[in-house]
């Protein structure tokens, strides 16, 4: 039996505390699996005195995580501090440069500096594992990096943010407004006091940038992602989606197109009978479309101390077993730059909800503008004032809901701009892309 | 760059042919991922002359797969012949003994001889990979063997046989009989001419035995599995399930209980809103319940040439990259013998459908027999002759559907035996276990 793997952990929040508890509880099984023990021998955190429910005395304490990262007493450095730069980056770099493998749950760091850090890991022949950074306990990083090595991936998409899915689920199931659901999510701890990062799609974008790199062998490039959040979604959209056989989910989507790789985060209509549409509440899910076979979907807890820690621990176990794969599945030198498919060239079906002025000729005007852009309609629902629910009739306007056949983003934008100039609608049109699945 | 990995393939059916095509198509990506090429250099099959759509001339031909397995011209042996013993076993043993890694899609071989073959692989420091043996393209073997190494698994269950799920889906959606759906499945090539192995649950049992070993660190033991197939399922059961908020799926379930490990294959009522209940048609799915976190579910194509070949190719890529994990995730010497939890001690809810004689006192008699076994009822639906659909009223009897609270298999069996002796029912009671999820 080899010597135990000595682990240093920087960051002792909920994930760090759960990790230390799991390492203790799973000692025997981990030793059997890895052929050696796993021991947390050193830690670093903001406050030494805080009661975390376990005894820090057996572990070496570091005020400075960077000092911990390069300390000779550890074999692997676990970064659980968070943040896209600063001390997290400095500590990870220090560990890699000192020839220590790194395990991190830090999506922001990887989205911003993933390629550079991967190159540093490669140069030093050490591992950089980050299963917990995307989808927490869902083993999607390993699945893309190793499990689907035999597959050519055409598209990957997922529900990567539990806060948004929780809000959309409650809006759909209870007919509540976005604002009310957000408040509830904040009260229950599912959303931050400043929820912008989650609800405007940036958290999803960071995770998507990592998945896209793993799926397509490209450099992580968050800036190549088109991002829209869910704050404009209204109960009327969810009700209309339901009637039409869809659900609305905030998806991160990366897809190969003839124009390059399209990466986008936006509210999306998905068919109710798809696996991803069934995913409710804070649960996450990722679907992988590989060439020539039916889709593969992974569903599971995408956040939480125990779920995140279990993924971190599996990454540590890989290090203990001596399994090492290039951080993005291939040498960084072979990662291609993203050829970004422009969003204007995006093609697909669209859901469009307009508040149309209730006067003769409105429908004809809208239809004409769509026809001018060669947009064909799969369905159009216009409720007349009498038939429309009271709530939908606003100062002489009625809702019109259009579903288009596949068309381009550019055509939709141009058509709606023209409709706007025609002054036949009030307010901003609501546009939700439909994802085939 | 290292030398290309030289692969020998025995068995050139749909999977073998798809594999050779995928190796050719993915040459560049595989080389980037693995740091070396992958080449199929030798093959063996029953008929050399058959047109398979690719040129055999560039590959060394072997009439005898065992000779191929030990030939010095190959580094890794891929077994795609099938069969739980015979030439498949001899060839795999020959390859391992000769120090060559083996990749196989052969669940029967692993269910029967997995532990012995794993020990042989270990002794020779080579890999024995078999991702394709369970759930084809779903990366469940890697997920259990590596991805969830940090998790303590409490239960694993899945839809592991596409034929059965196809039949149950059509029965449910179209109200057809089992016999009619089976015929259709045979016509469409989803079921064999002799469908017993699939529909009676044996295929599921073989796959479950492998998953249970990976999940719980026990020796593969197909004989420890309680097996029931789907041939007794009637449209009436699916209709009742639907009304009660359930779907019926053939599940393989392995669960840790205080009595040991319970392994069972049987038609199962699962709640409609669970991830597994959404899985329709030939698709497979596996759910893993790990301690302290919400379930993780993997869904995807569980059969087919391309899907199976892609998993085989990912396994080959692991060998090319030099990733090697013990075949069952830990040394065979550490695999525990299965302490089999007896089926009589199984605890859970039950769906029971009886054809009760339509006379006074019948309901009271049934209720008494259940009470004597301390079985509590969550619901009881008895349709009187007048109210029951014509089809359900058979010669003076009416259907009674009972849903029990958690009770034991033993209690249910004793209660139903007593009801049978009371002569208040006709025919055999239908019993379907309810799986909490």
pLDDT band with cut points at 50, 70 and 90 for residue B369? very high
Q: Who among B318, B329, B331 is closest to A146 (CB)?
A: B318
Residues 6+ apart with CB under 8 A from B299: A275, A296, A297, A298, A299, B138, B275, B279, B283, B284, B285
**pLDDT score, position A53:** 84
Q: Who among B32, B152, B321 is closest to A29 (CB)?
A: B152
Cα-atom radius of gyration of chain B, to the nearest Å?
24
**pLDDT score, position A386:** 57
**pLDDT score, position A382:** 79
Do the chains contact at A331 and B149, CB–CB below 8 Å? no
Do the chains contact at A33 and B301, CB–CB below 8 Å? no
Nearest by Cα to B336 from B43, B115, B83, B81: B115
Residue A153: exposed, middle, or buried by beta-carbon count in 10 A (0-12, 13-18, 19+)?
buried
User: What is the tens place of the pLDDT at every residue in A222-274?
Assistant: 999 999 999 999 999 999 999 999 999 999 999 999 999 999 999 999 999 89
Inter-chain Cβ pairs, chain A and chain B, closer than 8 A:
183
**pLDDT score, position B52:** 87
Q: Is A245 annotated as a binding residue?
A: no
pLDDT band with cut points at 50, 70 and 90 for residue B382? confident
Q: In chain A, what are the domain boundaries? A: 5-137+306-334, 145-299, 344-434
B394 is catalytic: no
**pLDDT score, position B150:** 87
pLDDT band with cut points at 50, 70 and 90 for residue B2? confident
**pLDDT score, position B437:** 84
**pLDDT score, position A293:** 95
**pLDDT score, position B435:** 97
Top-level class of domain A145-299 = alpha beta
pLDDT above 80 (res B276): yes
pLDDT above 60 (res B388): no
Distance in angstroms (rounded) separating the CA atoms of residues B149 and A5: 15
Q: Which of B32, B135, B149 to mutate to test the interface with A (most CBs of A within 10 A)?
A: B149
User: What is the tens place of the pLDDT at every residue in B122-153?
Assistant: 999 999 999 999 999 999 999 999 999 889 99
Top-level class of domain A344-434 = alpha beta
Nearest CA in chain A to B302: A294
Distance in angstroms (rounded) separating the CA atoms of residues B303 and B101: 24
pLDDT above 60 (res B389): no
Nearest by Cα to B213 from B246, B176, B261, B165: B261
CATH for B5-137+306-330 is 3.40.50.720
Do the chains contact at B29 and A152, CB–CB below 8 Å? yes
**pLDDT score, position A389:** 57
**Low-confidence spans in chain A with pLDDT less than 70:** 1, 383-395
- Architecture per CATH, domain B141-299, reads as 2-Layer Sandwich (3.30)
**pLDDT score, position A347:** 96
Do the chains contact at B148 and A314, CB–CB below 8 Å? yes
Instruction: Provide the ipTM.
Output: 0.95
Q: Is A277 annotated as a binding residue?
A: no
pLDDT above 60 (res B393): no
Q: Who among A32, A33, A299 is closest to B296 (CB)?
A: A299
**pLDDT score, position A381:** 86
Distance in angstroms (rounded) separating the CA atoms of residues B311 and B209: 19
> Domain B345-435: which topology?
Alpha-Beta Plaits (3.30.70)
Q: CB of A211 within 8 A of CB of A286?
A: yes
B5 contacts in chain A (CB < 8 Å)? none
Residues 6+ apart with CB under 8 A from B360: none
B311 contacts in chain A (CB < 8 Å)? 150
What CATH superfamily is the domain A5-137+306-334?
NAD(P)-binding Rossmann-like Domain (3.40.50.720)
Q: Where are the beta strands (DSSP E) in A358-417?
A: 377-382, 397-404, 407-408
Distance in angstroms (rounded) separating the CA atoms of residues B290 and B144: 11
A30 contacts in chain B (CB < 8 Å)? 149-150
Q: CB of B296 within 8 A of CB of A138?
A: yes
Task: Taking residues B283-291, report their average pLDDT.
Answer: 97
Please state, as a whole number, how many other Cβ atoms lie within 10 Å of the Cβ of residue B3. 9
**First-to-last CA distance in chain B?**
49
């Amino acid at each position: 039996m080899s010597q135990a793997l000595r682990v240093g952990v920087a960051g002792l929040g909920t994930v760090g505390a759960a990790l230390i508890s799991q390492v203790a509880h799973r000692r025997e099984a981990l030793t059997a699996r890895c052929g050696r023990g796993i021991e947390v021998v050193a830690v670093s955190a903001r406050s030494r005195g805080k009661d975390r429910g376990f005894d820090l005395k057996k572990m070496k304490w570091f005020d400075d995580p960077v000092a911990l990262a390069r300390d000779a007493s550890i074999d692997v450095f676990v970064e659980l501090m968070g943040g896209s730069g600063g001390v997290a980056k400095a500590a990870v770099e220090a560990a890699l440069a000192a020839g220590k493998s790194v395990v991190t749950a830090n999506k922001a760091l990887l989205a911003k500096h993933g390629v550079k850090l991967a190159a540093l890991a490669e140069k030093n022949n050490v591992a950089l594992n980050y299963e917990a950074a995307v989808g927490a306990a869902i083993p999607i990083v390993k699945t893309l990096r190793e499990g689907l090595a035999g597959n050519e991936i055409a598209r990957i998409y997922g529900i990567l943010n539990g806060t948004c899915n929780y809000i959309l689920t409650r809006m759909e199931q209870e007919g509540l407004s976005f604002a009310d659901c957000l408040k509830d999510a904040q009260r229950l701890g599912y959303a931050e006091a400043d929820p912008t990062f989650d609800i405007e799609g940036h958290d999803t974008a960071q995770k998507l940038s990592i998945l896209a790199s793993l799926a397509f062998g490209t450099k992580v490039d968050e800036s190549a992602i088109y991002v829209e959040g869910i704050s404009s979604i209204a109960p009327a959209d969810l009700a209309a989606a339901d009637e039409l056989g869809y659900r609305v989910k905030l998806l991160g989507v990366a897809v190969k197109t003839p124009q390059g790789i399209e990466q986008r985060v936006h509210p999306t209509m998905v068919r109710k009978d798809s696996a991803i549409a069934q995913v409710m509440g804070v649960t996450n899910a990722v679907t992988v479309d590989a060439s020539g076979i039916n889709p593969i979907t992974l569903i599971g807890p995408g956040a939480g101390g125990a779920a995140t820690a279990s993924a971190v621990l599996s990454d540590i176990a890989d290090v203990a077993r001596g399994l090492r794969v290039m951080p993005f599945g291939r040498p960084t030198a072979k990662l291609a730059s993203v050829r970004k498919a422009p969003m204007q060239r995006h093609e697909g079906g669209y859901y469009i909800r307009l508040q149309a002025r209730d006067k003769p000729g409105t429908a004809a005007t809208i239809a004409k503008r769509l026809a001018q852009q060669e947009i064909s309609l799969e369905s159009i629902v216009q409720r007349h004032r009498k038939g429309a629910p009271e709530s939908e009739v606003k100062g002489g306007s009625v809702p019109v809901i259009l579903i288009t056949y596949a068309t381009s983003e550019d055509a939709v934008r141009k058509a709606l701009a023209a409709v706007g100039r025609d002054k036949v609608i009030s307010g901003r049109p609501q546009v939700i892309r439909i994802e085939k699945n």
